Amino acid sequence: MGNTCGIWDNGFYTKGYLQNLPLTILIDNGSTSSILNYKIYRQLADVLKNAILEPSTYKLFDVNGNPLCSYGTLKQKLLLGTADFNTEFLVCDIKQDAILGLDFLLDHIDKIDYKRQILSTKDTDIRCWIGGEANAICRVIAKETVTLPGKSKMLIPVIIENAEHLGPLGYVDKTQKRKQNITSLGEF
């Protein structure tokens, strides 16, 4: 699928916040439970009185079948986009900041749109990205309306959504349906 770069595995990610602490979260419909990195929990516990771990009897295994140490469960509000979600995390030693598992997806998510890189709830859309150095698809949006004379070319300022998460190579997707930004007076 591509090379990994640091903590970024080739996966589906979003940005979230627990008590104003920014998290990079793996969306994993193969994980039964949502999981929080123990180091992230320690950062929360240092500033919050209500970051209390409840004992857990879950036996967890990583993707390779190796047992994971579970420190307990934590219930917190998770901010994704503009919406808060009551979320129960198992606190474990994992590489990612957090993993949103099938428990969260079934409770809160109506649709996973991998092509548009969006998680949809009944109230909001949550922007995501594909991590890793695998080929990525992104949208390029002109910052302003531009008129090009026939048989000409021009560099124009653009916005590349989620550019900070792209590998060095990418494919530009022209499927976005927005108001026409370019007017053609002839052939290109």
- Mean pLDDT is lowest, of 46-60, 68-82, 106-120, for 46-60
| Averaged confidence pLDDT in the chain | 81
Q: Report how far residue 174's alpha carbon sits from residue 117's, in angstroms, rounded to the nearest whole number.
A: 14
What is the reported pLDDT for 126?
A: 96
Distance CA 105, CA 161 (A): 24
Provide the residue ranges of all domains of the chain, joining segments of one domain with +. 12-130, 136-184
pLDDT at 165: 60
CATH number of 12-130: 2.40.70.10
- When mean pLDDT is compared over 45-59, 61-75, 91-105, 144-158, the highest value belongs to 91-105
> Which residues, 6 or more positions from 41, have their beta carbon under 8 angstroms from its beta carbon?
51, 53, 71, 74, 91
Q: Which residue has the higher pLDDT, 122 or 166?
A: 122
Tell me the CB-side half-sphere exposure of residue 109, using CA atoms within 13 A.
21
Residues 105-121 pLDDT 10s: 999 999 999 989 999 99
Q: Which long-range contacts (CB under 8 A, 24 or more apart) does 84-91 make?
A: 87/34, 88/34, 89/34, 89/35, 89/36, 90/33, 90/34, 90/35, 90/36, 90/56, 90/58, 90/60, 91/35, 91/36, 91/37, 91/38, 91/41, 91/53
Tokens of 12: 């589906």
- What is the tens place of the pLDDT at every residue in 19-46? 899 999 999 998 999 999 999 999 988 7
154-185 pLDDT, tens digit per residue, is 888 888 766 666 655 555 555 555 555 444 44
